[in-house]
Amino acid sequence: MLLTPRHIKASGGKPPEADKDHDKKAKGGELYGHYAANRRVLDKSAKYFVQKRKTSNDAGLSKAQLLELYRLLFETRRLEEHLVALYRQTQVVGGVYRSLGQEATAVGCAYGMRDGDYLQPLIRDLGATLTHGVMPLAMLRQYMAKATGPSGGRDLNTHFSDPNVGILGPVSMLGAMVPVLAGCLLASRFKKEDKAGLVFIGDGGSSTGAFYEGLNFAAVQKLPLVVVIESNHYAYSTPTTTQVPDGNLVRRAYGFGVDVSHVDGNDVLACYEATKLARERGLAGEGPTVIVSETYRRKGHAEHDNQAYVEDNEIEAWAKDNDPLDRYIEFLVKGKYTSKKALEKIRTEVEAELDAARDQAVAEEQPDAQTHLQAVFDDGNTPWPHYETWWRGGPTHREGS
Amino acid sequence: MLLTPRHIKASGGKPPEADKDHDKKAKGGELYGHYAANRRVLDKSAKYFVQKRKTSNDAGLSKAQLLELYRLLFETRRLEEHLVALYRQTQVVGGVYRSLGQEATAVGCAYGMRDGDYLQPLIRDLGATLTHGVMPLAMLRQYMAKATGPSGGRDLNTHFSDPNVGILGPVSMLGAMVPVLAGCLLASRFKKEDKAGLVFIGDGGSSTGAFYEGLNFAAVQKLPLVVVIESNHYAYSTPTTTQVPDGNLVRRAYGFGVDVSHVDGNDVLACYEATKLARERGLAGEGPTVIVSETYRRKGHAEHDNQAYVEDNEIEAWAKDNDPLDRYIEFLVKGKYTSKKALEKIRTEVEAELDAARDQAVAEEQPDAQTHLQAVFDDGNTPWPHYETWWRGGPTHREGS
Amino acid sequence: MPEITFLEAVNSALKEEMHADERVFLIGEDIGAYGGAFKVTGGMLDEFGPERIIDTPIAEAAVIGAAAGAAMCGMRPVAELQFIDFISCGGFDQLVTVAAKSRFRNGVPCPLVVRGPAGGGGRGGPFHSACPEMWFVSTPGIKVVFPATAYDAKGLLKSAIRDPDPVLFLEHKFLYRRIKDEVPNEDYVVPLGQALERRAGDEMTIITYGAMVHTSLEAAEELSKNGHSVRVIDLRTLVPLDEDTIVKAAIETSKVMIVHEDTRRGGLAGEIAAVINENAFDYLDGPILRVTAPDTPVPYAPSLEDAFLPQVSDIVTKANELLQY
Amino acid sequence: MPEITFLEAVNSALKEEMHADERVFLIGEDIGAYGGAFKVTGGMLDEFGPERIIDTPIAEAAVIGAAAGAAMCGMRPVAELQFIDFISCGGFDQLVTVAAKSRFRNGVPCPLVVRGPAGGGGRGGPFHSACPEMWFVSTPGIKVVFPATAYDAKGLLKSAIRDPDPVLFLEHKFLYRRIKDEVPNEDYVVPLGQALERRAGDEMTIITYGAMVHTSLEAAEELSKNGHSVRVIDLRTLVPLDEDTIVKAAIETSKVMIVHEDTRRGGLAGEIAAVINENAFDYLDGPILRVTAPDTPVPYAPSLEDAFLPQVSDIVTKANELLQY
Ligand SMILES: Cc1ncc(C[n+]2csc(CCOP(=O)(O)OP(=O)(O)O)c2C)c(N)n1
Ligand SMILES: Cc1ncc(C[n+]2csc(CCOP(=O)(O)OP(=O)(O)O)c2C)c(N)n1
Ligand SMILES: [Mg+2]
Ligand SMILES: [Mg+2]
């Protein structure tokens, strides 16, 4: 059984309909990737997502690429764990926002882009940031507000930009970056660059007017924008059914008159493939695609959130049966793409790198107000760390790298 | 052939699809009310809309009601003509925005509501204002910035409110009133009033973030809101295809997860019926309905606009073959609902009333700054003309009146 | 009288007003089951149910727009922004266009309250630390409240909810759990538009509001150690501005300094300088001076944020300059 | 030198910059075939094509957001708002959040221009007459320009387009077709941040900008008939504010009055009063006074709008008060 993402054409294709047999089919495991799954947000058991599923490899990736993806997934998870530890040691300034359980979406989608493409990650897209080429060291510095970090301590988390390498850090105002990315792609059109853009948004963030205006503009202008709606069941404490009738994000996306891809967000290859295809369609002049990625936020909104609003066992069920790393390892090993030992080696390497990065970042200084409270306007002061200090480049084996 | 509005259920119903046989069917006259018609915005000929069509009477209206509708349509058109004449005499302050050719939507939809319901007309909805109960005299005063007008000269056009009679005048910021009407309906829910709301928006205005946020909120809250998208081919000079991919407003509406009704906006009875049904569904707890009304703006954005951007003959074709008043007269007379003479009598009465109102309004004074530049906050000054001075009440024969 | 925190004071004002007036309801993001990002509405869903504690999509135009509509139709909505910074999104237009102009345009009152956590010191960075008051002070039709104590927070919020016009109610998040006051159990209000002399003094006056009241009081205390008598006025309400108290202080102390956390250019200090010029110029014995944040976004790193926010020492230094004038 | 209108000056600045720099493009509503609501971009679609003159949906967050994104990626977008009033909608956040903070946050310049018709006198009512400058003057990171003459409009717009930072460019719609100047055919710029003395004088100074420059000049002329020598300074740029010229005028004339069309509370007059206090207090021979619109929305009826807008007689009266001080 090939598990390809479900693709809905902007025109002509079948738009989503309510499915009365949902529960029956879900039990039988048939409903993979079907939008109706989203209605399970209302459910207590999250049973549908607990169906044992494998991860496809019709994505045509080489072994090296498959391993690279694993490295990125693991690096993402471990880096976040480092951040939590540092948070507990009050080394982190502000909060830590985890992507535990949804790393496959961030990593897989970003892997489907190419170097030079524009990427706009949100707080839960550390994995996308690393995949697109940011150093783990940079993220550590950023979370600890070090002068050496990409924003020089002026801003936090994934909030740093350099359009030269395609990173457009978000502002906190959800939805706001969708029109901004459309603007980046306008610029590329002027410059006749072959660049696409990937912008992440949450199920919650997709309720904002800025999201609507920006995506609609990109659609009317047929810009090569890939929008990933990370449908992770919650916006802070709010379930998706409060964001959109029936929690139906696919129908919402369909209304924009763009292509819609509905994917299993815990399947890193499905995410990769959907993005790659969306990117190609976009560059072929077919306009934006919305990828609705079904996943689950296993941690609270941030470290301080105790998730009291979550039903019993929901988190545990997702952790046990639908962890994106576990699934991917199973696929890699059972499919004989690699050995457990090879994976172990990757892990050892990543651990060592992250330990070193952490030690280096911890030892560094916070910014000096004399040099870092300047340059609201161009005043000849450029105290920002240039991207070369925080950029390692896209992954070696990624297509087009 | 019964010409009922096409109704698309929020869930389960067939959503719009592109129709390859569009042109063929359109020629055959089959495509009545089909969303694909909207794509004709791109066309030069506007031929589709030129199909001779009748107006239905499966709406179950009495003769008195049918005549009342005619009176309102005629009153709307003639009042606007008075306003244009006054504009040319520089009696009007600011601009005049015509609804010529689209009066059926404003009047028909408003007639589908009941007294006490909330109505939010836009600049081109003079007809809805009159239908809901505002005196023509009040509109004349308003356009001439008289102290006696509903806003006492502080604001213009349909920009006046009194929630006690359900009139919520717009602000100019398009889309902004959609969340506001949702709030009015929240208030009615608290007060356990059986009130619905009708809010007009243009094809252009439906591109705003405020429209999106407001309608989505109403949908999630299942409020009895009827949203009429007046699809009149233009937003100022901009064609609908620049507002939304393929100019497809039905698909846009469908994305909200609400019921969608697609109607011939020049058929006053179709507009009436669609609204009445939408209102009933809303009050039965089924949430908002979007009515996409296909019509055409025969005048420029305002009197100063020479419509140079409009294709040759487009306006003439609509005027000749699809004028909402002509069509309705034909229906009334051919269907033997009334006689030409009876209609003539109505016209004579309306003319006399309007002449008198105009003379009265012209003679009145502009506001005095001593009394009308006050009360930004509650300061004990209430210089506004109370609604009793500008309100004649809903039409006598309207249901529920 | 029990001692309660600033946050508890806001919570109890909301609860009491909801009990007293069935027209009052709350609307915002995550205010129900979660009790709000800062837990200001904690426990209220259980007490009042989802009809009166309305969780919304992430859509501030809907939050404030719906509140405005309900207010026009006779309700008394209180809209929460998760951080007041997000007022720059779609809700901005609802507040400055729909709510602020409603009464003037056609006599329809729009008595809503928009409240939310403001201010820096929490290491929130450029988008979670705003003092956005001047966008609204400069827009006719919106009252603006910025309390400094738990007692005032409760009494002013009650006034705001009962006020017949739109009110923006700014809660300094740094004070939520750091400030405790004795707050009466009985119903009381602090009227809008009345400043309070927090410390008597006759050599000079510091006019301030919000969290800077505490910083300014510390500075005044320090100045007193050198024998200086510095009056500290807490504005509490920025619109309406208590011009009488401001002018009286200028007349009585002849020297005035204004301290605010908001950035400098176009800040409230300028407005106060103009008011004093117009009403007490002859009494001035020195220039009206300002201690404010610099004209930058709020930075994230503690080292930067501390340099950004006016500190006791900044106030003392500037005050000494003025005292010696 | 040909005499052209204010509107033609804006049009020719746009055209010349688009010819000179291929990074410049325009984006907005109805700016293409229609040439904009005021015809400022008339004829430009034919000259530059739909790729560089982009008509958008009615979606100001998209207009300004896309301009900001393109600016960050090396373009020089000029976004038009049909009326500047609509800046309160979704585009507000794009300007104050995305564009204004980009350089400070991470060193990415965001050189966009947002331009649009502002101001009253056109009988546009509460939503087509705004002077929204203070929302942006009080937000660090946005330059604000408000020219009074055709010559300045052209020269300042060219500077704005070439400026490396976000600029809000306000065009007073009352001036579009009423003001004509001699404007050179050759390329020239008027630098941002430089005020201009429009009339010499040593008894007092009127500081003003936008359409009020003309009203103030008329008032100064009238005052001169009674032998008074009144300096009139046209700020031209509100951010950066030319503090040197302001302070110099305060020092040299000892009396300063500020005139603006914007409403009073939180208006620019306050900021100027503070700047003068801090830099020239000792030289003042009278209070800094204000002539401004009252704190109401802009009313529609001519009788009301005329009372709302500062008139020559209002300025003369207030000036006489100050002169006699
Ligand atoms: C416009 C706006 N409103 C409110 C917030 C506060 N806020 C930050 S994150 C968040 C929840 C986001 O949920 P979602 O979009 O689903 O993303 P997730 O956290 O699940 O990845 C909220 C409400 C914000 N950042 N921006
Ligand atoms: C938010 C906003 N942006 C821009 C405008 C300026 N404007 C006024 S009417 C109009 C065109 C409206 O077109 P549409 O919504 O289709 O309504 P119609 O005039 O066709 O009835 C525009 C752009 C506005 N009023 N509000
Ligand atoms: Mg989410
Ligand atoms: Mg239209």
pLDDT in tens, B332-374: 998 889 999 999 999 999 999 999 999 999 999 999 999 889 8
pLDDT value for B338: 93
Q: Is the CB–ligand 2 distance for residue B299 below 6 Å? A: no
Flag whether pLDDT at A48 surpasses 50. no
Predicted confidence (pLDDT) per residue in D98-116, tens digit: 999 999 999 999 999 999 9
Mean pLDDT of chain A: 87
Least confident range from A257-261, C282-286, D279-283: namely A257-261
Residue A133: pLDDT band with limits 50, 70, 90: very high
Closest-CA residue of C relative to A152 is C301
Q: Residue A23 pLDDT > 90, yes or no?
A: no
CA distance A72 to A269: 13
Distance between B55 CA and the closest CA of chain D, angstroms: 33
Residues in chain D: 325
Residues 293-322 of chain C whose Cβ lies under 8 A from any Cβ of chain D: 295-297
Give the burial class of A317: count Cβ atoms within 10 A of its Cβ; 0-12 exposed, 13-18 middle, 19 or more buried.
middle
Cβ <8 Å between B378 and C165: yes
What per-residue confidence (pLDDT) applies to B8? 60
Give the mutation candidate from B9, B17, B242 for the A interface (greatest A CB count, under 10 A).
Answer: B17
Specify whether the CB–CB gap between A301 and A270 falls below 8 A.
no
Shared fold status for C3-182 and C196-323: yes
| Domain D3-182, CATH class in plain words | alpha beta
**In 3D, which of D170, D173, D167 has the Cα closest to residue D64?**
D167
Contact criterion met (CB < 8 Å) for D297 and C140: yes
B109 CA to middle of ligand 4, Å? 17
* Residue of A209, A251, A252 lying closest to B213 (CB–CB): A209
- Would you mind telling me the total number of residues written for chain B in this entry? 401
Average pLDDT over residues D211-238: 98
Residue D258, SS3?
Answer: strand
Which residue of A150, A179, A377 is in closest CB contact with D66?
Answer: A179
DSSP codes joined into one string, A20-73: TTHHHHHHHTTTTT-GGGGGGGG-SS-HHHHS-------S---HHHHHHHHHHH
C-alpha A89/C-alpha B253 separation (Å) is 50
- Contact yes or no for A257 and B243 at CB 8 A: no
Query: Is a pLDDT exceeding 60 seen at residue D42?
Result: yes
Contact B214 CB / ligand 2 (< 6 Å):
no
In terms of DSSP bridges, do strands B234-235 and B238-239 run parallel, antiparallel, or are they unpaired? Answer: antiparallel
Ligand 2 atom with minimal separation from the B173 CA: 26
Q: Whole-angstrom Cα distance, residue B169 to residue B149?
A: 13
The arithmetic mean of pLDDT across residues A31-45, rounded, is: 26
Q: What stretches of A44-175 adopt beta strand conformation (E)?
A: 118-120
User: Is the distance from CB of D45 to CB of D53 less than 8 angstroms?
Assistant: yes
B33 C-beta closer than 6 A to ligand 2:
no
Q: Which helix (H) or strand (E) holds C166?
A: none
Asked if A390 and A135 touch (Cβ cutoff 8 Å), the reply is yes
CB contact under 8 A, B220 and A245: yes
Count CB pairs under 8 A between chains A and C. Answer: 125
Q: Is the CB of C61 under 6 A from ligand 1?
A: no
- C-beta separation of C176 from C6 below 8 A: yes
Q: Decide: A100 and A305 in contact? Cβ < 8 Å.
A: no
- The pLDDT-based confidence of B45 (bands split at 50, 70, 90) is very low
Atom number of ligand 1 nearest to Cα A301: 19
Owner of token pair 């206090």 = D277
Mean pLDDT (chain D, rounded): 98
The two three-digit tokens of residue D5, written as one number: 């209108």
Q: Give how far C254 is from chain B: nearest CA, Å.
A: 32
Please give, rounded to a whole number of angstroms, the shortest distance from the CA of B342 to a CA of chain D.
40
Alpha carbon nearest to ligand 2 atom 20, residue: B235
The residues in D 221-250 lying below 8 A from C, measured between CB atoms, are: 239, 241
Q: What is the pLDDT of residue A5?
A: 45
Tell me the residue ranges of DSSP E strands in chain C: 3-5, 24-28, 53-55, 76-80, 113-118, 143-145, 167-172, 180-182, 196-199, 204-208, 230-234, 237-239, 256-263, 289-293
DSSP for C259-312 reads: EEEEESTT-HHHHHHHHHHHHHGGG-SS--EEEEE-SSPPPSSHHHHHHHS--H
Q: How far is the CA of A180 from the centre of ligand 2 (A)?
A: 23
**Chain C residue whose CA is closest to A373:** C304
Are A161 and D109 in contact (CB < 8 Å)? no
pLDDT of residue B27: 38
Q: What is the residue whose two structure tokens read 């739109």?
A: C166
* Contact (Cβ atoms closer than 8 angstroms) between residue C168 and residue C192: no
For B200-223, what is the mean pLDDT?
A: 98
Angle of helix A324-334 relative to helix A103-111, nearest 10 degrees?
60
Could you report the per-residue pLDDT of A202-214, keeping only the tens digit for each?
Answer: 999 999 999 999 9
Q: Which CATH number fits domain C196-323: 3.40.50.300, 3.40.50.920, 3.20.20.10, 3.40.1110.10?
A: 3.40.50.920
CATH number for B65-306+314-364: choose from 3.40.640.10, 3.30.2350.10, 3.40.50.970, 3.30.450.20.
3.40.50.970
Q: Which candidate, C316, C121, C324, C108, places its Cα nearest to that of C211?
A: C121
**Average pLDDT of B288-308?**
94
- Provide the percentage of residues in chain C whose pLDDT is more than 70: 100
Tell me the per-residue pLDDT of A90-132, one tens digit each, with 9 for 90 and over: 999 999 999 999 999 999 999 999 999 999 999 999 999 999 9
State ipTM: 0.96
d(CA D259, CA D206) in angstroms, rounded, equals 7
Residue C287 structure tokens:
């220039």
- Domain positions in chain D are 3-182, 196-323
The amino acid at residue A72 is: L
Q: Chain D: nearest CA to B220, how far in angstroms?
A: 22
**Strand pairing category for A238-239 and A234-235:** antiparallel
Distance from residue A233's CA to the centre of ligand 3 (Å): 6
Ligand 1 site, residue A275, Cβ cutoff 6 A: no
Helix (H) or strand (E) holding C57: none
- D266: pLDDT strictly greater than 80: yes
Contacts 24+ apart (CB under 8 A), D311-317: D311/D215, D312/D215, D312/D218, D312/D219, D312/D222, D315/D206, D315/D215, D315/D216, D315/D219, D315/D257, D315/D259, D315/D291, D316/D219, D316/D222, D316/D223
Note whether C265 contacts D: Cβ–Cβ < 8 A.
Answer: yes
Q: What is the pLDDT of residue B43?
A: 24
Asked whether D174 and D131 are in contact (CB, 8 A), the reply is no
Give pLDDT tens digits for B148-169: 999 999 999 999 999 999 999 9
Task: Sketch the domain layout of chain A as residue ranges.
Answer: 65-306+314-364
Q: Is residue C128 annotated as part of the catalytic site, yes or no?
A: yes
Mean per-residue pLDDT for B270-282? Answer: 92
Would you say residue D46 has pLDDT above 70? yes
Residues of C in contact with A236 (CB under 8 A): 29-30, 34, 37, 82
Of D69, D140, D165, the CB nearest to A183: D69
pLDDT in tens, C90-132: 999 999 999 999 999 999 999 999 999 999 999 999 999 999 9
pLDDT digits (tens, 9 = 90+) for A310-333: 998 999 999 998 899 998 998 899
Whether a cis peptide bond, with omega within 30° of 0, leads into C111 is no
Residue B163: partners with Cβ closer than 8 Å, 6 or more residues away: B118, B184, C72, C73, C74, C108
| pLDDT above 70 for C317 | yes
Separation of alpha carbons C64 and C93, rounded Å:
9
Sheet holding C204-208, edge to edge: C196-199, C230-234, C204-208, C256-263, C289-293
Per the CB < 8 A criterion, the answer to whether B30 and B51 are in contact is no
A32 pLDDT band (50/70/90 cuts)? very low
Cα(D29) to ligand 4 centroid in Å equals 13
